[in-house]
């Protein structure tokens, strides 16, 4: 019987007897907690967990009474307000953070176990964020029962808390970084001793100093072997216990074989066969790669977390409205539907609600994609996460917390990230078979040479393991992708996910957002018209003088157009909320604002006709009449039309989805030559549109920039986020346009095709190399040092071929 716990893998105390019945055999447990958890898992019909897991579970401990009492407090409706969505009368949905997740099998176990609970309607767990979304019938099952059921199988679940999640991830990162630091320090020191040995001719180093260098290398490699490489050993041990060969198995065998062989050569003072430098370097590079992979995975999961920061923690509550007008500080979590709050200019609106008093404009571009501030007055609805731009607003609270539209976007993003296809499954399966065959070949070589020439048997086995180490096969794809992504980064395209280039080469449809993507995403002066008797430059200077000091987007557009032009002094400048501005310049009363505002002031209608009817139009006037009119809007990027034309020449279909109104969207689509367009598209509409294309067999590239684009960016086969867009969009995108140059998307598509060609060449070379090298090594024609050289050369050839992607001009 094994001396380690069947559930958690820890040593079993000599006097412990906690048997677990598993598949007609008895397995040991280290404590009653692990025995109870394992029995629960097996009795629930989830014994497959123990076959597929790749990490040992955490040791199970009985929950203290105080913890159980805290768990039951979560049944309180008051506590659930901040993290539970009430979808229907009794249907609730919560976001939970899981502790103790170590591998994909843990995700499977938790999902299956929770689904078996009566009253659970749905459960999805995101492996990247280790966050679970659970939907249940509260009339049949309480939240505390779900939390206790998760605890019963050895895990912990809590209402999602960003700070707590970050603390757990920080602990994991610190441990991984420490292992990497130890391996890197050892590698550098050992290489300092190894290089003179490699470079010096035989006999140049005195024997005493030579063996001193070897022994020093041995001592410095021990921390790598005993500490840094521990994750590989644990994973291999779990693989062996489940009678399978995983990706860490060859790593462990390579490390231990090279070290043991080197130590054997050292203590017997063989002149060749000491490879301590290879051991430390191998471990360092592997840990470095895994650390970077972990960073990329966390980046993918941080997108939805950053959305929470859009909503402030505090609000100005007004008690006794409308009789009372004074406000006081209150937490957003304490707000109820029907409460009244005051939102001052420049503040973020914390809830979904309705305006009771005040006139202002709300910047909703982060949520809806609408570039122009939306006028708000009594009776208009407002959205949590939008910014009040002009004047104070009194708002009646409608929805808070998980019921807001912002929270809905978070749920869509979580869903889209969870639906991301799993990559490299076929590669892992092939590598497993390859490693198994390699181990058989090495064992067969040893046995054969043990009878032919015993002195050479060990070194021939080492040569077989080293020369056919799947390094070249493993590097074939990553090397090409790394070279290509480096080239793209130098051009201004940041690739954030490894699959992006592979998928980009197969794209059949491109879906663009409008605001901030095909357009600049900010107000600009597009055209101005001046009446007779006033120069256009003078009219612009007067308008800019009236707008000085204003932070309104229209004012910024006028001021940006005026540039460094000297401006006249404006006296008695005042803002007219919802209309415009007024002031006196050189004794003349001037007004600047909407045509309706100016028409009402002049007492006669203004006729601007169809001139820029789909843009924002403002008029400058004095008592004599209108002096000038300005068309302000969001202009198309200069390279947008060229990109659309290039994509169409490649046979790629182009679509435009936008939250803007029909007029601006239709106008831009006609200007760029896009036949397929949709206006007033909410985040759900965009997600459904891309999903429909994918159901029809299309490979979709999504290009966007806003929070409202984040779910569809995550859902698309491959996505590009604008560098000037929101943090959430950039985190959801597979690629980022750092300089917002749309033309680089076409360059990226060209490079993606070349990258696939390089990958195919590398795979062909790596496979061919192993077919030739393995028989030579088994036949004894290759010594260990030649095997090391061959392994390094095969990897260098693969990397060198990949570097052609850097040198080529796409």
Q: What are the distances in angstroms from CA 95 to CA 76, 414, 456?
A: 16, 10, 60
Q: Give the CA distances from residue 235 to residues 56, 230, 468, 636, 808, in Å, rounded to whole numbers and listed in that order.
A: 9, 9, 21, 53, 40
256: tokens are: 């231990």
Q: How far apart are CA 801 and CA 795, in angstroms?
A: 10
Asked whether 552 and 373 are in contact (CB, 8 A), the reply is yes
According to DSSP, the β-strands at 156-159 and 131-137 are unpaired
- Which residues are registered as beta bridge partners of 495? 735
Q: Is the preceding peptide bond at 161 cis, omega within 30 degrees of 0?
A: no
Residue 810 CA to residue 226 CA, distance in Å, equals: 47
513 is catalytic: yes
From 513, 660, 705, 709, the catalytic residue? 513
Cβ(190)–Cβ(238) under 8 Å? no
User: By the 8 A CB rule, do 472 and 766 touch?
Assistant: yes
Q: Quote the tokens at residue 514.
A: 């409008």
Of 703, 662, 667, the closest CA to residue 686 belongs to 703
* DSSP output for 341-363: EEE-TTPBP-SEEEEEE--EEEE
Residue with tokens 């590079």: 285
Residue of 407, 390, 406 lying closest to 355 (CA atoms): 390
- Mark 352-380 as b/e (b = at least 16 C-beta within 10 Å): bbebbbbbbbbbbbbbbbbbbbbebeeeb
Q: How far apart are CA 707 and CA 727, in angstroms?
A: 8
CA distance 188 to 423: 34
Question: Active-site positions?
Answer: 513
């Amino acid at each position: 019987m094994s001396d380690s716990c069947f559930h958690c893998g820890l040593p079993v105390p000599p006097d412990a007897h906690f048997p677990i019945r598993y598949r007609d055999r008895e397995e040991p447990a280290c404590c009653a907690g692990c025995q109870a958890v394992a029995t629960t898992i097996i009795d629930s019909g989830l014994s497959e967990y123990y076959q597929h897991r790749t990490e040992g579970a955490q040791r199970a401990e009985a929950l203290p009474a105080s913890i159980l009492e805290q768990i039951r407090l979560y049944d309180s409706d008051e506590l659930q307000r901040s993290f539970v969505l009430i979808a229907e009368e009794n249907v609730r949905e919560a976001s939970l953070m899981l502790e103790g997740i170590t591998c994909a099998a843990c995700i499977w176990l938790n999902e299956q176990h929770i689904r078996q609970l009566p009253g659970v309607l749905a459960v999805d767990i995101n492996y990247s964020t280790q966050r679970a979304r659970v939907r249940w019938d509260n009339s049949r099952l309480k939240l505390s029962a779900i939390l206790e059921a998760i605890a019963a199988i050895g895990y912990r679940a809590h209402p999602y808390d960003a700070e707590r999640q970050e603390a757990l991830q920080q602990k994991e990162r610190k441990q991984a970084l420490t292992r990497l630091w130890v391996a890197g320090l050892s590698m550098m020191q050992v290489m300092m001793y190894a290089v003179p040995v490699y470079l010096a001719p035989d006999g140049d180093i005195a024997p005493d100093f030579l063996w001193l260098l070897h022994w020093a290398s041995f001592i410095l490699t021990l921390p790598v072997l005993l500490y840094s490489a521990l994750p590989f050993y644990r994973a291999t041990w779990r693989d062996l216990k489940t009678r399978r060969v995983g990706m860490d198995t060859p790593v462990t065998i390579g490390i231990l074989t090279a070290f043991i062989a080197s130590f054997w050569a050292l203590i017997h003072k063989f002149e060749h066969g000491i490879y301590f430098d290879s051991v430390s370097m191998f471990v360092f590079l592997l840990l470095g790669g895994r650390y970077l992979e972990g960073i990329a995975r966390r980046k993918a999961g941080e997108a939805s977390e950053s959305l929470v920061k859009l909503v402030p923690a505090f609000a100005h509550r007004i008690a006794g409205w409308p009789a009372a007008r004074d406000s006081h500080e209150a937490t957003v979590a304490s707000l109820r539907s029907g409460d009244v709050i005051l939102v001052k200019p420049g503040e973020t609106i914390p809830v979904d609600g309705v305006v009771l008093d005040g006139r202002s404009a709300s910047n909703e571009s982060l949520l809806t994609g609408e570039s122009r501030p939306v006028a708000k007055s009594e009776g208009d609805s407002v959205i949590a996460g939008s910014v009040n731009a002009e004047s104070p607003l009194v708002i009646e609270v409608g929805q808070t917390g998980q019921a807001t539209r912002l929270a809905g976007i978070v749920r869509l993003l979580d869903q889209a990230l969870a639906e991301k296809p799993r990559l490299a499954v076929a590669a892992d399966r092939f590598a497993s078979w390859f490693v198994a065959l390699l181990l058989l070949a090495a064992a067969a070589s040893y046995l054969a040479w043990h009878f032919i020439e015993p002195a050479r048997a060990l070194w021939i086995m080492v040569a077989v393991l080293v020369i056919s180490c799947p390094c070249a096969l493993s590097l074939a794809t990553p090397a090409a992708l790394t070279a290509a992504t480096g080239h793209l980064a130098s051009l201004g395209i940041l690739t954030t996910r490894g699959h992006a280039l592979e998928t980009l080469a197969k794209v059949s449809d491109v879906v663009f957002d409008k605001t901030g993507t095909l357009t600049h995403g900010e107000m600009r002066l597009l055209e101005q018209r001046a009446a007779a008797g006033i120069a256009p430059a003078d009219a612009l200077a007067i308008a800019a003088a009236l707008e000085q000091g204003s932070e309104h987007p229209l004012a910024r557009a006028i001021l940006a157009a005026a540039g460094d032009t000297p401006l006249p002094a404006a006296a008695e400048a005042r803002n007219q909320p919802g209309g415009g501005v007024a002031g006196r310049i050189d004794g003349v009363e001037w007004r600047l604002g909407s045509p309706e505002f100016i028409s009402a002031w002049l007492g006669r209608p203004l006729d601007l006709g169809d001139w820029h009817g789909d843009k924002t139009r403002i008029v400058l006037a004095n008592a004599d009449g209108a002096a000038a009119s300005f068309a302000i809007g969001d202009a198309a990027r200069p390279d947008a039309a060229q990109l659309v034309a290039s994509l169409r020449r490649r046979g790629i279909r182009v679509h435009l989805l936008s939250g803007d109104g029909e007029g601006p969207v239709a106008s831009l689509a006609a200007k760029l030559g896009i036949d397929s367009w949709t206006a007033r598209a909410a985040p759900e509409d965009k997600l459904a549109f891309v999903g429909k294309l994918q159901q029809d067999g299309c490979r979709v590239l999504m290009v966007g920039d806003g929070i409202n684009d984040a779910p569809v960016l995550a859902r698309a086969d491959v996505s590009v986020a604008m560098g000037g867009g929101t943090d959430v969009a950039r985190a959801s995108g597979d690629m980022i346009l750092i300089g917002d140059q749309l033309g680089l998307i076409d360059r990226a598509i060209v490079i993606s095709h070349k990258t696939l060609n390089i990958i195919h060449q590398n795979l062909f070379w790596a496979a061919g190399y192993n077919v030739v090298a393995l028989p030579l090594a088994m036949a004894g024609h290759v010594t260990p040092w030649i095997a090391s050289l061959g392994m390094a050369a095969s990897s260098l050839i693969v990397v060198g071929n990949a570097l052609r992607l850097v040198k080529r001009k796409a």
